[in-house]
Amino acid sequence: MPDSRLVWSERSGLTPAADRRPDEPAVVDSWLVAEGRVRDLPLHGQRFLRACADLVPELPPATVHRFLEAVRLWLPPRGRWFPRIEAYGGPEPRLALWARTAPASGAGEVRLWIPPDPDPRTRPAVKGPDLRVLAALRERAKAVGADDAVLYESGGTVLETAHSALVWWRGDELCVPDAGLTVLPSVTRTHLERLAECWRFAVRQEKADLSELPGLETWTLNALHGLRPVRAWIGADGRPAPAKVTARAADWRRAVRHRAVLPAFNLWELPCAH
């Protein structure tokens, strides 16, 4: 059923959850399913496995693999869905699937709010522990007319947003956060970097200061919306400023949306199609 939670067990597989208000999960992951097709499904599974090994070690990797296979078989062949897989720790660790329908497609561009304080997350490299903090940040962003909030280090180095990866351009170089920075491993950013390689564009890792981004073409990336160019920046004082947007974004947005979108029969263990 849409928007229902299913718990998983070795004996019964995926069955409806009795508790409609579960505890906060330790690890989550999600992706878009559109008419039975998923982009980079193996990478989502691999990210979930790594996060479970880190935060819920009481769940054996083989158990998580079997859960992922059950989820793969569940994926609907019709409609638009945004399922979320969840891992819970504690004395009774468990795995669950939130069978969510996908929200309506939003605008193709985003407005980003620059909060007055740096990144508040406690576990920035894992999707799950800071869900409440990030949701609160996005609500604050919406209150000032933005779609999402920028996350940055105390010194001003840009990381990502509350719900998306960030990339930017310097001329014909695609720039991404330096590998030494602590950001969530982004499946969509990996997809974009592979596309850049195919199109013979250089990918440059760097530490960019927050003050630089309004003057650079900047994009957000996530599994639900794909690639969206930043069209405006809203400062901590609530004042908006225009962003740099070029025609380049449209071509890359279409390519990210359609390239290597595979039927959901792909095995989790296989590498993403290049």
pLDDT tens digits, one per residue of 233-250: 999 888 999 999 999 999
User: Mean pLDDT in the chain?
Assistant: 90
Instruction: Label residue 236 exposed, middle or buried (CB < 10 Å: 0-12, 13-18, 19+).
Output: exposed
How many Å apart are CA 137 and CA 142, to the nearest integer? 9
- Cite the DSSP H helix spans in the chain: 41-55, 61-74, 131-143, 187-198, 248-258
pLDDT (tens digit, 9 = 90+) per residue, 10-56?
999 999 988 765 688 999 999 999 999 998 999 999 999 999 999 99
Closest CA to 233 of 108, 110, 107, 117: 110
- For the whole prediction, is pTM greater than 0.85? yes
- Interval 162-204: pLDDT, tens: 999 999 999 999 999 999 999 999 999 999 999 999 999 999 9
Q: Look at residue 271 and tell me whether its pLDDT is greater than 80.
A: no
pLDDT band at 225 (very low <50, low <70, confident <90, very high): very high
Q: Which domains does the chain have, with CATH numbers?
A: 4-104 (3.30.470.10), 110-258 (3.20.10.10)
Can you give the pLDDT at residue 265?
Answer: 42
